Structures are given as C-alpha cells and as structure tokens.
Structure 1
Amino acid sequence: MEQDLEQRLVIFEREGLAAPAIVAFVRQILEWLEREAQCPGDEEHMGPLASHLLLALERVRRGEDLGSAWSPLVHEEASTLTVLPHLQDWAGQIRAQALQQLDLRLPAEEEDFLLLHLGALVLRGQEP
C-alpha cells in the first residue's frame, strides 16, 4: 500500500473518525484487494473505497443507519456491475470478514455501495 493511502487511514484514526480496530481491518482489506484485484494500492485507485468502508463500518459500530443516502437507484446501478468478475465474491468476503473479525454486520444496502466502489476500483485498474 502506498504512503498516500496509508496517510488517509492514519488521519481517520487520529481524528477519531474510525475506531483503531476498524482502521486496522480496512488496511488489511485494502492490502488483500491490492493482491486480489491486482490493482495499485494508492489513493487514486483505492481512496474512495477506503473512506466508504471506514465510514460504513463506523456507522454500523455506532448503530446508525444509512438514512436517505441509499435509494433504489443505488441498487439498480450496483446490479449492473454483476458483469464484472469477482465483485459479488469480494463484497461477500468483506462482509463476512467484518462480521468475523469485528462482529459488525454490514447491511445489504451497504453492499450496494461496496459493489459500486469495487466496480470503480476494477475499472480504474483497467485504464492504460
């Protein structure tokens, strides 16, 4: 993982935006995705995914829901990404690991956002 992305994680933890255990978990997931997706572990490719996952897990930890941030349109857009290989598996793996390691259950609505970020990661990784 490159320094710019690591700095994002440090800021989230230092500013109290995400619990240390969540930051450590997201770091682990980003490193796994870097290998799995064969994508650069940098700010450009993984920054938005990192922030979303940090904030989503922190929301779940605090017992908050998405509120009006989620709409059926998000689900429709996420559904179009099923043509990209491995996205559903990766999202499922992240949800399972969050439950196992953090005892946090990401709701299905968060999986839609996760799929969108994973899709963007894959598409950015394919750019020349």
Structure 2
Amino acid sequence: MDRQLAERLEIFERTGQVAPEICRFVRTELDVLDAAGSEITEESAGTLTSHLLLALQRSRDGGALTEFAADETVRAELAGHPDALEQAAALAERAESALDVVLPGQEVRFLALHLALLRQREAMR
C-alpha cells in the first residue's frame, strides 16, 4: 500500500467518518490483496477503499444501499467477472464475521465491480 492510500484510510478514521475497527478491517483486506499480487495504490484502489469503508459504515449504521438504479447494468457487467463477484462475496462474509456487519447484495455487487477493475488493471501491467 502506498503512502497516499494509507493517508486516505487515516483521514476516514481521524475525521470520524468510519469507525477505527472498520478502518483496520479494510487495511487488512487491502494487505491481503497486495500479498496476492495486486498493486494496491491510491491510483489503483483508492475508489475501492473509499467505497468499502463507507459501505461497511453505512451498513453498520443501518443505512446500507438496498436499491441502486443501475443494478441490472451492474449485474450484466459482472456476468463477465464471476471471480470478482465471488471475491466480493467472500470479503462480505469476512466483514460479517469480523465486524458483525452485513453488506446487502447491491453493495457486494458494486464492490465486485471495483475488484473486477483492479484485476483488469493488473492484466494490463
């Protein structure tokens, strides 16, 4: 993880936008992606990081995204990336276990889009 992405996490925690344990969880998940060979930088994973932080906090606070106007478009795009959807679902299961936070399907699918994009960037390296 590069310095800028680490700063992003610190800002979310320091400003109180996200609980410290959620920041720790996301940092650990990013470290796992990094260890698996993904390039985890502000450029490649900044949006993924923000989305995951805020999705987990929204879900914890009872304000999870349950309707998304473009959900069918997202589903169609993910049909070509089943591995990203599986990866996002596994991450959601770990979040439920570690944080007692349930991410609804819409959030998991949106997270899967970020993971699919990360993989596409890796393929272009």
* Aligned-partner SS, 1:120: helix
Q: Retained in 2: the 8 A contact 1:78–1:113?
A: no
The alignment status of 1:29 with 2:26, answered yes or no, reads no
Residue segments in structure 2 that go unaligned for 5+ positions in a row: none
* Aligned-partner SS, 1:106: coil
Q: TM-score, normalised by structure 2?
A: 0.90
* Aligned-partner SS, 2:81: helix
Q: Retained in 1: the 8 A contact 2:64–2:103?
A: no
Q: Retained in 2: the 8 A contact 1:39–1:45?
A: no
Q: Retained in 2: the 8 A contact 1:26–1:53?
A: yes
| Letter in structure 2 aligned against 1:47 | G
**1:47-97: CA deviation from partner (whole Å, max 9, x where unpaired):** 111011001001101101325544322222222222xxx423321221111
Question: How do 1:42-61 residues align onto structure 2 when only pairs under 5 Å count?
Answer: 42-61=41-60
Q: Retained in 2: the 8 A contact 1:81–1:119?
A: yes
Residue segments in structure 1 that go unaligned for 5+ positions in a row: none
Q: Retained in 2: the 8 A contact 1:40–1:125?
A: yes
Percent of matched pairs sharing the same residue: 39
State the alpha-carbon separation in 1 of the partners of residues 78 and 87 from structure 2. 14
| Letter in structure 2 aligned against 1:29 | E
Superposition RMSD in Å: 1.5
Q: TM-score, normalised by structure 1?
A: 0.88
